[in-house]
Protein backbone atom coordinates (compact mmCIF):
# COMPACT_ATOMS: atom_id res chain seq x y z
CA UNK A 1 0.00 0.00 0.00
CA UNK A 2 1.19 3.47 -0.74
CA UNK A 3 -0.50 5.15 2.23
CA UNK A 4 -3.02 6.97 0.02
CA UNK A 5 -6.16 8.23 1.70
CA UNK A 6 -9.52 7.56 0.06
CA UNK A 7 -12.54 9.31 1.51
CA UNK A 8 -16.28 9.21 0.88
CA UNK A 9 -18.23 12.21 2.20
CA UNK A 10 -21.23 11.43 4.33
CA UNK A 11 -24.24 13.76 4.42
CA UNK A 12 -27.52 11.98 5.08
CA UNK A 13 -30.57 11.97 7.33
CA UNK A 14 -31.82 8.95 9.24
CA UNK A 15 -35.48 8.83 10.31
CA UNK A 16 -35.66 7.44 13.85
CA UNK A 17 -39.14 8.80 14.63
CA UNK A 18 -40.49 5.32 15.44
CA UNK A 19 -37.75 4.77 18.06
CA UNK A 20 -39.11 4.78 21.67
CA UNK A 21 -37.33 7.31 23.87
CA UNK A 22 -39.41 7.26 27.07
CA UNK A 23 -40.88 10.76 27.31
CA UNK A 24 -38.96 12.28 24.41
CA UNK A 25 -39.34 12.06 20.65
CA UNK A 26 -37.20 12.77 17.63
CA UNK A 27 -38.45 16.14 16.34
CA UNK A 28 -36.72 15.67 12.96
CA UNK A 29 -34.60 13.07 11.16
CA UNK A 30 -31.09 12.70 12.59
CA UNK A 31 -28.67 14.62 10.32
CA UNK A 32 -25.36 12.82 9.83
CA UNK A 33 -22.35 14.67 8.38
CA UNK A 34 -18.80 13.39 8.11
CA UNK A 35 -16.79 10.93 6.05
CA UNK A 36 -15.80 7.31 5.67
CA UNK A 37 -12.04 7.19 5.20
CA UNK A 38 -9.72 4.41 4.06
CA UNK A 39 -6.12 5.02 5.04
CA UNK A 40 -3.69 2.18 4.49
CA UNK A 41 -6.50 -0.39 4.70
CA UNK A 42 -8.00 0.98 7.91
CA UNK A 43 -11.55 2.17 7.26
CA UNK A 44 -12.90 4.75 9.70
CA UNK A 45 -16.33 6.34 9.94
CA UNK A 46 -16.06 9.77 11.52
CA UNK A 47 -19.20 11.91 11.68
CA UNK A 48 -21.39 14.24 13.72
CA UNK A 49 -25.04 13.34 14.29
CA UNK A 50 -27.30 16.35 14.86
CA UNK A 51 -30.27 15.14 16.89
CA UNK A 52 -33.38 17.30 17.30
CA UNK A 53 -35.35 16.17 20.37
CA UNK A 54 -38.78 17.22 21.59
CA UNK A 55 -39.57 16.59 25.27
CA UNK A 56 -41.09 18.00 28.45
CA UNK A 57 -38.38 19.27 30.83
CA UNK A 58 -37.75 16.83 33.69
CA UNK A 59 -37.73 19.68 36.25
CA UNK A 60 -40.32 22.24 35.12
CA UNK A 61 -42.37 20.26 32.55
CA UNK A 62 -41.98 23.02 29.91
CA UNK A 63 -42.27 21.69 26.34
CA UNK A 64 -38.82 21.93 24.79
CA UNK A 65 -37.13 21.21 21.47
CA UNK A 66 -33.34 21.11 21.46
CA UNK A 67 -30.53 19.90 19.21
CA UNK A 68 -27.78 17.63 20.52
CA UNK A 69 -24.58 16.83 18.63
CA UNK A 70 -23.35 13.25 18.96
CA UNK A 71 -19.82 12.54 17.70
CA UNK A 72 -19.47 9.18 15.96
CA UNK A 73 -16.16 7.43 15.34
CA UNK A 74 -15.93 3.76 14.38
CA UNK A 75 -13.37 1.49 12.78
CA UNK A 76 -14.91 -0.82 10.19
CA UNK A 77 -13.52 -4.30 9.46
CA UNK A 78 -14.46 -7.12 7.07
CA UNK A 79 -13.60 -9.76 9.69
CA UNK A 80 -12.02 -10.04 13.14
CA UNK A 81 -8.94 -11.99 13.99
CA UNK A 82 -9.26 -14.36 16.97
CA UNK A 83 -7.40 -12.04 19.33
CA UNK A 84 -9.28 -8.83 18.41
CA UNK A 85 -11.67 -7.23 20.88
CA UNK A 86 -14.93 -7.12 18.91
CA UNK A 87 -16.31 -4.18 20.92
CA UNK A 88 -13.74 -1.83 19.39
CA UNK A 89 -14.79 -2.52 15.80
CA UNK A 90 -17.82 -2.72 13.54
CA UNK A 91 -17.69 -5.89 11.41
CA UNK A 92 -18.96 -5.37 7.84
CA UNK A 93 -18.36 -8.72 6.11
CA UNK A 94 -20.30 -7.97 2.90
CA UNK A 95 -19.17 -4.30 2.71
CA UNK A 96 -22.73 -3.12 3.49
CA UNK A 97 -23.12 -1.02 6.61
CA UNK A 98 -26.55 -0.62 8.26
CA UNK A 99 -26.08 3.06 8.97
CA UNK A 100 -29.52 3.47 10.55
CA UNK A 101 -28.80 0.85 13.22
CA UNK A 102 -25.38 2.36 13.96
CA UNK A 103 -26.78 5.91 14.25
CA UNK A 104 -29.64 4.67 16.45
CA UNK A 105 -27.25 2.92 18.83
CA UNK A 106 -24.84 5.85 19.13
CA UNK A 107 -27.63 8.40 19.61
CA UNK A 108 -29.48 6.34 22.24
CA UNK A 109 -26.26 5.79 24.21
CA UNK A 110 -25.44 9.52 24.11
CA UNK A 111 -28.82 10.80 25.34
CA UNK A 112 -28.64 12.44 28.78
CA UNK A 113 -30.47 10.73 31.62
CA UNK A 114 -32.16 14.00 32.58
CA UNK A 115 -33.66 16.11 29.79
CA UNK A 116 -33.75 19.78 30.83
CA UNK A 117 -35.05 22.89 29.07
CA UNK A 118 -31.81 24.62 30.09
CA UNK A 119 -28.83 23.77 32.29
CA UNK A 120 -29.89 26.09 35.12
CA UNK A 121 -33.59 25.07 35.19
CA UNK A 122 -34.97 25.78 38.68
CA UNK A 123 -37.98 23.49 38.35
CA UNK A 124 -41.36 23.86 40.03
CA UNK A 125 -42.22 24.99 43.56
CA UNK A 126 -43.09 21.83 45.51
CA UNK A 127 -45.83 23.71 47.41
CA UNK A 128 -47.72 25.71 44.75
CA UNK A 129 -46.34 24.31 41.47
CA UNK A 130 -45.22 27.66 40.02
CA UNK A 131 -42.43 27.50 37.45
CA UNK A 132 -39.46 28.99 39.35
CA UNK A 133 -37.75 29.94 36.06
CA UNK A 134 -40.39 32.69 35.75
CA UNK A 135 -39.51 34.13 39.19
CA UNK A 136 -40.06 33.37 42.88
CA UNK A 137 -43.45 32.04 43.92
CA UNK A 138 -43.93 33.78 47.27
CA UNK A 139 -44.46 30.58 49.24
CA UNK A 140 -42.97 30.58 52.71
CA UNK A 141 -40.16 28.07 52.95
CA UNK A 142 -40.96 25.33 55.39
CA UNK A 143 -38.29 24.49 57.95
CA UNK A 144 -37.52 20.85 58.57
CA UNK A 145 -38.67 20.22 62.17
CA UNK A 146 -35.52 18.19 62.81
CA UNK A 147 -33.43 21.33 62.15
CA UNK A 148 -35.54 23.89 64.05
CA UNK A 149 -33.16 23.79 67.02
CA UNK A 150 -30.33 24.96 64.76
CA UNK A 151 -32.38 27.94 63.62
CA UNK A 152 -32.18 29.44 67.11
CA UNK A 153 -28.37 29.46 66.77
CA UNK A 154 -28.70 31.71 63.70
CA UNK A 155 -30.89 34.18 65.61
CA UNK A 156 -28.23 34.72 68.28
The residue ranking higher by pLDDT, 141 or 118, is 118
pLDDT value at 39 more than 90 = no
* Phi, psi (deg, nearest 5) at residue 17: -60, -25
Coil/strand/helix, residue 88: helix
Q: Is the dihedral of CA 98, 99, 104, 110 positive or negative?
A: positive
Distance separating alpha carbons of residues 34 and 47, to the nearest angstrom: 4
Instruction: State yes or no: pLDDT of 2 exceeds 60.
Output: no
Report the chain's mean pLDDT, rounded to a whole number: 85
For residue 5, count CB atoms less than 10 angstroms from its CB and return exposed for 0-12, middle for 13-18, buried for 19 or more: exposed
Residue 130 is classified by DSSP as: -
The pLDDT assigned to 111 comes to 87
67-122 confidence digits (pLDDT tens):
999 999 998 887 777 665 666 777 777 778 888 888 888 988 888 889 999 999 99
Contacts 24+ apart (CB under 8 A), 41-45: 41/1, 42/75, 43/75, 43/76, 43/77, 44/73, 44/74, 44/75, 44/76, 45/10, 45/72, 45/73, 45/74, 45/75, 45/76, 45/90, 45/97, 45/102
Amino acid sequence: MNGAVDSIPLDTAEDLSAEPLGGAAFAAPVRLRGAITNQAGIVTLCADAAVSLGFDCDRCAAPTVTTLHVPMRHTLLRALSNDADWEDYIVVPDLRLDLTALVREDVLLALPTKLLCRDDCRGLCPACGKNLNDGPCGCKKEIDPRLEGLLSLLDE
